[in-house]
């Protein structure tokens, strides 16, 4: 059985971003470390 997580984040302008992933800890770390270009890196 596969597990997926839905998460909600915001950037500095307080705009919400909704995503989903199968590895929540890895995905959050990538957002926090700004290794993903785009929304939360701004």
Domain locations in the chain as residue ranges: 5-41
Instruction: Kindly list the averaged pLDDT for each block of 10 residues, start to end, along the chain of length 42.
Output: 90 86 91 74 61
pLDDT score of 23: 94
Element (H, E) at 35: none
pLDDT score of 31: 81
Element (H, E) at 18: strand 16-21
Handedness of CA 31, 34, 36, 40 (dihedral sign): positive
Cβ neighbours of 7 (radius 10 Å): 13
Distance of alpha carbon 32 from the chain centroid: 8
pLDDT score of 7: 92
pLDDT score of 42: 59
pLDDT score of 41: 63
Half-sphere exposure of 31 (CA within 13 A, CB side): 19
């Amino acid at each position: 059985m596969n597990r997926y997580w839905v998460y909600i984040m915001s950037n500095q302008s307080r705009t919400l971003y909704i995503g989903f992933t199968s590895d929540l800890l890895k995905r959050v770390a990538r957002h926090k470390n700004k290794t993903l270009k785009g929304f939360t890196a701004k």
